[in-house]
Amino acid sequence: MIRLLLVIAVALTVSCNSAQNAASAKKMTAEDYASTITSEDLKTHLYILADDKMEGRMTGENSNNLAAEYLRNYYIDQGIDSPIEKNNYYQPIPAEFFNGATNGNPSQNIVAFIEGSEKPNEIIVLSAHYDHVGVKNGKIYNGADDDGSGTVSLMEMAQAFQMAKDNGNRPKRSILILHVTGEEIGLYGSKYYTENPLFPLENTVVNLNIDMVGRIGSEKGGNDNYIYLIGSDKLSQELHDLSEAVNKKYTNLELDYTYNVDNDPNRFYYRSDHYNFAKNDIPVIFYFNGTHEDYHQPGDTPDKIEYELMAKRVQLIFLTAWEIANREDRITADKL
């Protein structure tokens, strides 16, 4: 009898603890999960991905494959699922797809997945390219901002969404983390994905693309509380308005639309991976800090990243994705 009572007592204790943990989890808000995206974690990952050992992560070269392996191992360690099969996070791209730009070598996109609780077939794609331009004339082009910053941003957002899932706060819609290769040589990785999607493109709600969010653009001077947004209103006024509301509620960054104008001479709207989604009538936002003196130069190194600012920018992107994932109605391309 005494033993039975002890067993019951232990069971009740475990049950109470579980209930308390569940109650605690339910109290966590989107802002709580966003706060787990920290400057320290971003810095840790970026110093690895933009290290000289990565030799500039040129598409098709071993350095690019080393970066891919680092990403794959991270998702395995975090217990974040693959949309392909267990422990397989690679979407292989054959050499011929690159039209000779990789010296006959294949490459791969890296994918991870948090399945939605209520609308799992509706997909939000968070993307960034993990390649850079390699080594030129003996100098390593580390690509810390371009686009190591976007790469590690995806890692941190994936971890935050996975935490929500583990706490019983899984997003209603599914989140696809898409690290694309081949951006620097012609947007090849995103082109390959949109031509060979893991989920039907008609089920893709939105693409939030991150390409350079770790620095302050040369044209900004002393203003460090901003982010350029490109494309948010091109296909969906609904997406643009939601983005503005999320920023006003949580982060209060200056959302600068300078490069969003139709006559932008830089044509940035057409120059990063979101464009392959936009071409397929999928609403997009491209997050960008602008160019600087180290753009596509060997000086783009991790010691020059503004990590606190970067964390704030990534939190904005996470909270925007969270709102899109959990709102009742799907975002639509209402400006087609």
Relative to beta strand 90-93, strand 107-114 is antiparallel
| Domain assignment of residue 295, yes or no | yes
Give the pLDDT score at 148. 98
Domain encompassing residue 202: 28-326
DSSP state of 83: S
Distance of CA 42 to the CA centre of its chain: 12
| Domain assignment of residue 14, yes or no | no
CA proximity to 317, closest of 155, 204, 202, 181: 155
Asked if 255 and 243 touch (Cβ cutoff 8 Å), the reply is yes
What tokens were used for 266? Answer: 């830089």
| Domain assignment of residue 19, yes or no | no
Give pLDDT tens digits along the chain (336 positions): 333 333 334 333 433 444 344 444 458 999 999 999 999 999 999 999 999 999 999 999 999 999 999 999 999 999 999 999 999 999 999 999 999 999 999 999 999 999 999 999 999 999 999 999 999 999 999 999 999 999 999 999 999 999 999 999 999 999 999 999 999 999 999 999 999 999 999 999 999 999 999 999 999 977 899 999 999 999 999 999 999 999 999 999 999 999 999 999 999 999 999 999 999 999 999 999 999 999 999 999 999 999 999 999 999 999 999 999 999 999 999 999
What tokens were used for 235? Answer: 């296909």
| Domain assignment of residue 190, yes or no | yes
Instruction: Locate the DSSP E strands across the chain.
Output: 90-93, 107-114, 119-129, 135-136, 139-140, 173-180, 204-210, 226-230, 254-256, 284-288
182: CATH: 3.40.630.10
Tally the domains of the chain. 1
| Domain assignment of residue 17, yes or no | no
